[in-house]
Each structure stands twice: as structure tokens, then as C-alpha cells.
Amino acid sequence: MDRFRMIFQFLQSNQESFMNGICGIMALASAQMYSAFDFNCPCLPRYNLAYGLGILLVPPLILFLLGFVLNNNVSMLAEEWRRPQGQRGKDPAVLRYMFCSMAQRAMIAPVVWVSVTLLDGKCITCAFCTSVPVETLGNASHPGLSQEEMKLVLARIPCKEIYDGQELIANEVAIRYLRCISQALGWCFVLLMTTLAFLVRSLRPCFTQAAFLKSRYWSHYIDIERKLFDETCAEHARSFAKVCIQQFFEGMSTDLAATRCHLPSKAPADVGEAAEKLLGITDRGTMNTALKSWHRCKPPLHLHPPALPTGNGWAGEGQPPAQPPVPRREMVAYYSRV
């Protein structure tokens, strides 16, 4: 049990590295899922487009939402967004920074899925097989086929075992044509995502360094404040339970002492320490009121630190000037007279 507790504490203290690892695992899992996925195109004009684009876009959406679900900061962002104003204002820049940080991690697995899918080419082949330019790649003058019949034949291009339009266009030619387009789109998508990631991660702090540092600081503060509040509540609950259990057994001991004429045992010292940690909150109603007060009206972020008089103009303005130091000779003469 202690090992699991140590692992849990380590993950809490290294939450950012842990979330990066989770995103990496999800990215590898998405690639593995696609390789294990049995792609079966329906080979029907009405369903090919929906099936191909659905396989291309729906799983990335699921992986994106799953990335938010596995992120512990989602509840913290929602709590900070929905909490009452109280004595502490809400900074939209901090909320945007928190959301963007979570979105960047959650987008890794969907980007991998879309990239692998486009580079493989099966989805694009299934979705757009009816749009193959027969005039350029095949025999557009094939007699006896209407527009609907031609679409029905082209829709069977991904299914080699049932394709019967070799006289119209060769199956291998159409598949190579669509796969080439799909791979080109895949590499363009990879280049676009890489460029966007570079711009977001590298260039944004350079243009808005002050705002970036402010948003990152207060997002860290909100995270640390929540963790410390949870730890304080857990410690208070542990002390509350210890005192409550001790009082129960003291009552039982008093009843037994009254019936058997035995002196009740003295309470241990750790119970007294636990009672001190309760900070005067010793009943359920008071604790509920304190928790509601924390949610409705968090304390303002102003600790009233003592001003340090300095000569640089940004701290200690309006303070009385510091007294000049007493010369050492006068101090020696004074203590020699004393």
C-alpha cells in the first residue's frame, strides 16, 4: 500500500510529465488501433463517402474528448470558470491558457490517427472512388452505361473481389491514383500540424512574454492551491475521524468504568494533537459552512507583505527614508563607556 501511495504522490508532483506520457501512450495506441482495425468499405455509392469520412474523422473526435477526460485539470478549469466572483476576480487569459494547454495535449492522438489514416489511403479510396476522372484514367466512351450505373461500378473499386469494371477503368490504376492523393494530403497535414506546433510552442512566448508568464504563473497557482486545499481537507478529515473515534471509545470506557468500577484510561497525546489540527471546526455544520464559503468567496490574492524600502523606484515608495548607519567608532566608544 505504501508503494502505491509513493507512486501516486510521485505522479501528483510530476503531473505535467505524467500527462505528456499519457498523451504519448494514446498516440501510440491510436496508431496501433488503426493497424488492427479491419477496414471494410461498403462499396455502395450512397455509403462509401459517409463510411470513409466517418472512419477518418469520428475516431479523432473520440480520442480528443478522451484526452480531456484523462486530464485531471479539466475539473479544475470547470471549477474556476463556474465559481462565483467573490473577492477574487477571474482572469480570462488564465482560463484560455489552461484550456489551450489541455487542448494541445489532447490533440496529439487525433493528429496521429488522421496522419496514419491519410498516409494509408484506404479511407480516401473508399470515400472518393466515385469521383475518379474516368475521362483521364479510363475509357469514358464505354457504351451501355448510364451515369448511375457508372457510379455503381466505380463504387466497387475498393472491393477487388466484386469489381467488374475493368473495361471502364483498371482497378489498380484507380486505387493508385486515389492513394497518391491521400498520401499527399497526409504529408501536407503532417507538415501543417508540425508548423502550427512550432509556432504555438516557440513563437507565442516571444511576442507576448509578459502575458504568457502571467498566465502560466496563475495557472500554476490555481493548480497548487487546489492540491494544498485537498491535502488540508484530507488532514482535517483524518484528525476529525481520529478525535470522533477516540471520543466514542472514551464514552464506552466511561460506561464500563461506571459498571465495573474501573478508572477510564487517559487519552493518548496524539489525540490532543489531532484536536488542535481541527482549528476550531468540530462539527459537521461548521465544516459544510467553511466549504461553501471557500467555493463562494475565495480569499483575495493580497497578502499585505511589508514594503521593503529601496532606491530603485518600484518598491517602498512613500516610505520614510532609512536611518543612516551609526559609525563604528561611535559604537565602540559607546560600549566602552557602558
Dump pLDDT digits (tens) for 298-335: 777 777 655 544 544 444 444 444 444 444 444 434 44
- DSSP SS3 for 202: helix
Q: How far apart are CA 222 and CA 229, in angstroms?
A: 10
Reply yes or no on whether the pLDDT at 200 is more than 70.
Answer: yes
Who has greater pLDDT, 258 or 94?
Answer: 94
**Amino acid symbol at 180:** C
Supply the pLDDT for residue 97: 83
Q: How far apart are CA 25 and CA 206, in angstroms?
A: 30
Reply yes or no on whether the pLDDT at 43 is more than 80.
Answer: yes
Q: How far apart are CA 48 and CA 263, in angstroms?
A: 86
Q: How far apart are CA 275 and CA 284, in angstroms?
A: 15
- Residue range 4-20: mean pLDDT, rounded: 52
The DSSP letter of residue 167 is T
Q: Where are the domains of the chain?
A: 19-208
Who has greater pLDDT, 225 or 23?
Answer: 225
Reply yes or no on whether the pLDDT at 18 is more than 70.
Answer: no
Supply the pLDDT for residue 140: 63
Q: How far apart are CA 244 and CA 271, in angstroms?
A: 10
- DSSP SS3 for 301: coil
**Amino acid symbol at 70:** L
Supply the pLDDT for residue 238: 87
Q: How far apart are CA 236 and CA 288, in angstroms?
A: 13
Who has greater pLDDT, 174 or 270?
Answer: 174
Q: Please give the full DSSP string across 276-315, using - where no structure is assigned.
A: HHTTT--SHHHHHHHHHHHHHSPPPS---PPP---SSSSS
pLDDT tens, 139-168? 766 666 778 888 888 899 998 888 888 888
Q: What is the largest CA-CA distance in the chain?
A: 127
Pick from 25-39, 96-110, 122-136: least confident: 25-39
Supply the pLDDT for residue 284: 82
Q: How far apart are CA 102 and CA 197, in angstroms?
A: 14
- DSSP SS3 for 165: coil
6-10, 50-54, 233-237: which has the highest mean pLDDT? 50-54
- Residue range 265-293: mean pLDDT, rounded: 71
Residue 327 cell numbers, joined: 559609525
The DSSP letter of residue 253 is H
Rounded (5°) CA angle 108-111-114 = 150
Supply the pLDDT for residue 21: 63
Q: How far apart are CA 228 and CA 245, in angstroms?
A: 26
pLDDT tens, 46-88? 899 999 999 999 999 998 998 888 887 888 888 888 887 777 7
Supply the pLDDT for residue 332: 39
pTM over 0.75: no
- Residue range 29-54: mean pLDDT, rounded: 84
The rounded percent of the chain whose pLDDT value lies above 70 is 72
Q: How far apart are CA 334 and CA 224, in angstroms?
A: 52
170: exposed, middle or buried (Cβ count in 10 Å: 0-12, 13-18, 19+): middle
CA 224 to chain centre: 15
**310-316 long-range Cβ contacts below 8 angstroms, 24+ apart:** none
The rounded percent of the chain whose pLDDT value lies above 90 is 17
Q: How far apart are CA 330 and CA 321, in angstroms?
A: 22
